[in-house]
Amino acid sequence: MGKKRAKAPRVPESREQLLHHLEKLTGQSFHTRTDVHRFVVAMDAQKAAKQKRSASGWHAVKTTTLFILLILSFVQFYLTDSLLQTVSLREMTFFVPVKADLHS
């Protein structure tokens, strides 16, 4: 059984319809090409600022993750090295008297 999908709103085709649609969405009125150009430039600037903020957030997450991984790798190296040194020690046998001679 197919799912019913909502139809996308129809995109205006002529310049006038597109301009009217843009005015309706933004609440601004555009009288000249310069007005439209300023609006587009302002939108690009906002988009660039938003992407920069997003990128700086991800940069902080990436840096923190890499720092934590560096610490974990150092700890793993240290533990592996300690274990290897412990295993490579020579076997030493100690004789411990069970009962001491008290009469001497």
Residue 62: the pLDDT is 92
> What tens-digit pLDDT sequence spans the chain (104 residues)?
556 677 766 766 788 888 888 888 888 888 888 988 999 899 999 998 888 887 788 888 899 999 999 999 999 999 999 999 888 888 888 887 787 666 76
Asked if residue 39 lies in contact with residue 30, where contact means CB atoms within 8 angstroms, the answer is yes
Asked if residue 16 lies in contact with residue 30, where contact means CB atoms within 8 angstroms, the answer is no
Return d(Cα 51, Cα 43) in angstroms, integer: 12
Return d(Cα 29, Cα 20) in angstroms, integer: 9
Tokens coding 36: 């439209």
Predicted confidence (pLDDT) per residue in 55-82, tens digit: 788 888 899 999 999 999 999 999 999 9
Residue 1: the pLDDT is 53
Residue 104: the pLDDT is 60
Return d(Cα 59, Cα 64) in angstroms, integer: 9
Query: Rounded to two decimals, what is the model's pTM?
Result: 0.44
Residues in the chain: 104
Asked if residue 71 lies in contact with residue 60, where contact means CB atoms within 8 angstroms, the answer is no
**Sequence ranges of the domains in the chain:** 15-87
